[in-house]
Structure 1
Amino acid sequence: MNRTLSILFLATSFLGFSKGRELLPSVWIIKDSISEKIHPDSVQLVFNVDDLYNQLMLNQHAAIVQVKIDGKSKKYTITDKHPIFRFPLAKGKHRLAFYINANFNEIYLEREFMGKHHYEIGLNFQGSSNSGKQILVEKPVIYLYSEKEEAFHLKVKTSAALQFTYPAYSNEWVGTSSPNGTIQLNGTKYPYLFWDAQLPVNQVNLDWNFADQLEGSHVMAYLENQLDKIGFNEKEKADFITYWGPRMQKMKHLQVLWMQNKSIDPIASLEISPNFKQNRIYLVFRETSQWNEQTPEIRISSPEPMDRSGNYLVEWGGMEIEPNL
């Protein structure tokens, strides 16, 4: 026997919706039905995360929804193709909280759940007050390597506000690359091209559940090991470690995320002519007072080795994130 009840439950205010999502609350009951397959003292909850405008960037990576059920935590993985998770509860009144990351407000749902009921519930994560904050995309430097001297045009395509470039950047860099990595612009030689930019924090979707977690005293060995796996040459590795290492090793505990290639495109993409293979790697880290609990189904994403064949570029940069973001 199935009996469907049409119920709309708004657990949070309609204030603060992003453009184009005005009609969606944070949480609502899609369907409430009674099923003979469910025990009279039990409830089945199925949650569907609405990401119509791809704010969660599920088309690029999975996300972890952290759920607190009457204060006890569980974690569920959602993807673009399967933005659904479920769990049973005992009948009665429960308080639920749902959290993705600091870019989105936590969602709360408190209500009485009836025995034998099957609830389908929609979730709509909305931008938090952190979304107005700015973070600095630091030290993206671009090395160019070509099989012979090669004239190039290179553009940094970003909505972020460029802060400083070297050499001077005016819509593009125009110069000549070489096999040993030397770049010539207007008769002057450079080891790399440099830019940095201010970026709204809500343009970077970070999930610290997938972070490497380490102590500051282990930073140098960790970076050397990771960069060797990625395929940095000695100069690139020295440039990278001497920039990030001193700052990171001062932290007692830290979490580290790696962004690579297409995952960096929402921050900035590179347009180069003629075509160069692009090897891009960004380091993202923050100091933390405690480790995240990482369950077995959470797989830490490690950077892949670079392709250093033919004409190619190497870009590295990164961001230090405030502990509460």
Structure 2
Amino acid sequence: MVVLGFMFISCYKGRLLPIEGKVKFNLIKSDTYTLLYMETEKGYPNFNLTIEFNLIQHGKTVKVELLGVYELHILLPAFGPARGIDSLMLTNGLNNLLFTYGSYTDYYAVQVDTCIHVIPIITKFTVYDSTLYGGLVRKPNIYLYPTSPCSVIVKLSPNGRLVKTIPDYDDGFKVYAYPDGSISGTPGYLFYEAEIRDVDLGTNGWCVSQPEIISFLQWLLPEYGFNPRECDDFIQYWGDKLTGSPYYEIYPITLEQIDLICP
């Protein structure tokens, strides 16, 4: 098993806040289910607040009961919307999609065939946005170790879209790499962040207290084959980010999982 990175999730939830402004959503069809992805129009100083909701499905009617925004002390102190995600079992033909929040109810007709057609009927506090995707992958560095100096082209096919790259991604990373791992015009690795539609974390991981995060990573990363430089890069970046929660769940992301979302 080759591990390319790790996913961090806070084990702690804070207070429930009211939803301010509208909630945008998208329905993303896969072979076996439909992904419901939501995010608030309002941005928050902590990037990864979550939209709390209940999902109720009876036949061709799906009801999404919005409860509020949970203030999470998790991962990334960066500006962004609150997000919510779940899977729906929409069947071919006409489906009903309802969103409720307090005394408000929004209603959409959803026609499912080879693709999904969303028809707004009543829209007071929700907005359908087909451009939304379901998650952000941060700093999965790509290291290159050729046997001799050479030009390299690295191409990515994210299940979503790239949002940031170093160096620029022009139909691929086009760089010159050396056996010692150095790469011309880079800090020593290819950097990207991507919005993706779904991540399967699996069930095996660790729950680690915040004061033990650094020492745990110093033990864990070499166990999964990270060399000293890769360990230093990883810990330097994430050590400063994982400070807001008393505990974090840590899940390994394997090569097989990466190939599903960003081959």
Which structure has more RCO (C-alpha within 8 Å, separation ≥ 6)?
2
Say which one has the larger Rg: 1
Using structure 2 for the length normalisation, give the TM-score. Answer: 0.49
